[in-house]
């Protein structure tokens, strides 16, 4: 019988297992849901064991796919290695990695401190998750994909501030969850480094059939005050901030065979902010 859906079928993730780090974050939950809706088994990975287990159960019930919650600090080599073993044992392999975890620190005063006063300890704490964690998880997942011999897709979440500098005027009077905010240099530096890591790995692992790409979200509405939303939106050609669901389509494309000839690239979902 002739397949009348050759292009639609390329987006199917049935028979594949996806890992999503930062899986219970604002974007992470939507990413997990999107992967499950397209048929993937999903390993939800985040710090809170109870939260990831609960959300994995929700995914199973809603989408009818097998899901697994794994508590893991991605900055810990031993925890990352254990996480990969649990995913392989529980879901049969690793075919998709969404390397998505990032930290804003438990100490928001230190995280949002001016650059001139930024502490080395805080810098290293953020880098341990945002960059070291990316390295450790990509390393472990890539090694598993090589052992399986069937290729794979790795998608790493960077940020619009990994490719452009933040407009400081946006932050005058701006707040997040009631407190003044900015974008610290450590965040921008870590997100820019992810792009370099992705380009390196895309070439390094290409002969194994492992594709590595960046997902680069622009600003999403997630608790900012009206002042921030208004000022940020004024910098965007489309005139608004993004919504978490609008990031999911790009992930499905990069995770699936629809992007089978795409590697080493950065897919920017920013409403056009980066063109100005």
Active site amino acids: 187
Helix (H, G, I), strand (E, B) or coil at 208: helix
Whole-number Å distance between alpha carbons of 184 and 147: 39
* Alpha-carbon span 74 to 79, nearest angstrom: 7
- CA angle 212/8/259 to nearest 5° reads 15
| Three-state secondary-structure class, residue 192 | helix
| Rounded Cα distance, 218 and 174, in Å | 17
Q: Which segments of the chain does DSSP mark as H helices, in order?
A: 26-37, 49-63, 77-91, 108-111, 120-127, 133-148, 185-204, 226-234, 248-255
The whole-angstrom separation of Cα 256 and Cα 254 is 6
Instruction: Give the CA angle between residues 106, 112, 118 to the nearest 5°.
Output: 100
What is the signed CA dihedral for 36, 16, 147, 137, rounded to 10 degrees? -20
Give Dmax over CA atoms of the chain in angstroms: 67
């Amino acid at each position: 019988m002739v397949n009348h859906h050759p292009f639609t079928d390329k987006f199917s993730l049935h028979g594949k297992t996806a890992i999503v780090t930062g899986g219970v974050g604002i974007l992470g939950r939507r990413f997990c849901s999107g992967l499950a809706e397209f048929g993937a088994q999903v390993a939800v990975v985040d710090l809170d064991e109870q939260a990831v287990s609960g959300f994995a159960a929700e995914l199973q019930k809603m989408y009818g796919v097998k899901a697994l919650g794994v508590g893991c600090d991605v900055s810990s080599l031993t925890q990352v290695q254990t996480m990969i073993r649990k995913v392989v044992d529980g879901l049969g392999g690793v075919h998709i990695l969404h390397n998505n975890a990032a930290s804003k620190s438990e100490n928001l005063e230190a995280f949002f401190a001016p650059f001139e006063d930024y502490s080395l300890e805080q810098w290293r704490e953020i880098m341990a998750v945002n960059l070291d964690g990316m390295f450790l998880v990509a390393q472990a997942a890539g090694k598993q994909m090589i052992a399986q011999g069937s290729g794979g897709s790795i998608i790493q979440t960077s940020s619009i501030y990994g490719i452009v500098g933040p407009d400081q005027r946006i932050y005058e009077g701006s707040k997040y969850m009631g407190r003044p905010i900015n974008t610290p240099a450590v965040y921008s530096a870590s997100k820019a480094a992810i792009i370099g890591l992705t380009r390196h790995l895309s070439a390094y692992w290409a002969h194994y059939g492992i594709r590595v790409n960046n997902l680069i979200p622009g600003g999403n509405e997630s608790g900012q005050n009206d002042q921030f939303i208004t000022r940020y939106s004024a910098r965007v050609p489309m005139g608004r901030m993004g919504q978490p669901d609008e990031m999911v389509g790009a992930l499905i494309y990069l995770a699936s065979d629809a992007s089978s000839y795409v590697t080493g690239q950065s897919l920017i979902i920013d409403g056009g902010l980066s063109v100005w």
